[in-house]
Amino acid sequence: MVLTTPGPGPAGRSTRTGRKHLGGLVLAALALLTGCSGGTSQSVSTALEDSSSAVATARIALRQDMDGKLTRAAASTTLDDELKEIQTSRSTVLKLSPATQEERETQKQALDVLDQCAAGFATARAALAANDGGAPSVSDGDKALAGAQDALKQLEGKVVSP
């Protein structure tokens, strides 16, 4: 709902410690209530937020796999769970009926990025299934997901809800 999704790493950590003023919060909530009825950009940004959470999870799982901290079963289950999340977001965006040209554009861009995420997941899952040494490697999967993560972040910056 709120769009200041922090990025990974210490930069995100520092924004979390900031506290909003109560009055501002009430206003934001009211704005949210009145704007909740719909809006393509609102739905798109929620979908992008959910997706970037999923991609970030998958990257942690892959890194842990490379560090030997995670079992294959747990890593592949995590990827499955997060891919499901991406697919849910994608079908939400697909079902939107944008009213303006601008919104249609936003929808299309979001679908492109989500497809890129799904492709990243496909690479990562293939890497895990290839069981070491094969191609693609786990770090290839991580690279693909990193690319998708950057694309997500860029688009999130562009889609600002009213």
Partner 1 sequence: MKRLLGVALGILTAIGGFVDIGDLVTNAVVGSRFGLSLVWVVAVGVVGICLFANMSGRVAAASGRATFEVIRERLGARAGLANLAASFLINLMTVTAEIGGVALALQLASSVYYLLWIPVAALAVWLVVWRVRFTIMENVTGLLGLTLIIFAVALFLLKPDWGMLAGQLAPAVPEQETVWTYSYYAIALFGAAMTPYEVFFFSSGAVEEGWTVKDLLQERINVLVGFPLGGLLSVAIAACAAVVLLPAGISVTSLSQVVLPVAEGAGKIGLALVLVGIVAATFGAALETTLSSGYTLAQFFGWSWGKFRRPAEAARFHLAMIVCLLVGIAVLATGVDPVLVTEYSVVFSAIALPLTYLPILIVANDPQYMREHVNGRVVNVLGMVYLVIILVASIAAIPLMIVTGAGS
According to CB under 8 A, which one of 52, 106, 109, 123 is a site residue for partner 1? 52
* Residue 94 contacts partner 1 per CB under 8 A: no
Asked whether 94 and 111 are in contact (CB, 8 A), the reply is yes
What lies within 8 Å, CB to CB, of 157 at 6+ separation is none
What lies within 8 Å, CB to CB, of 108 at 6+ separation is none
* Residue 129 contacts partner 1 per CB under 8 A: no
According to CB under 8 A, which one of 33, 131, 132, 133 is a site residue for partner 1? 33
Tokens linked to 119: 């492709």
Asked whether 120 and 141 are in contact (CB, 8 A), the reply is yes
According to CB under 8 A, which one of 38, 71, 112, 158 is a site residue for partner 1? 71
According to CB under 8 A, which one of 35, 39, 60, 87 is a site residue for partner 1? 60
* Residue 72 contacts partner 1 per CB under 8 A: yes
Report the C-alpha gap between 35 and 157 in whole angstroms.
19
What lies within 8 Å, CB to CB, of 38 at 6+ separation is none
Give the three-class secondary structure for 146: helix
Tokens linked to 38: 């719909």
Stretch that binds partner 1, among 79-87, 98-106, 116-124, 137-145 (CB under 8 A): 79-87
Nearer to partner 1, 69 or 108 (CB): 69
Contact positions toward partner 1, by CB under 8 A?
A: 1-2, 4-10, 12-13, 15-20, 22, 25-26, 28-29, 32-33, 36, 46, 50, 52-53, 56-57, 60-61, 64, 68-74, 76-78, 81-82, 85
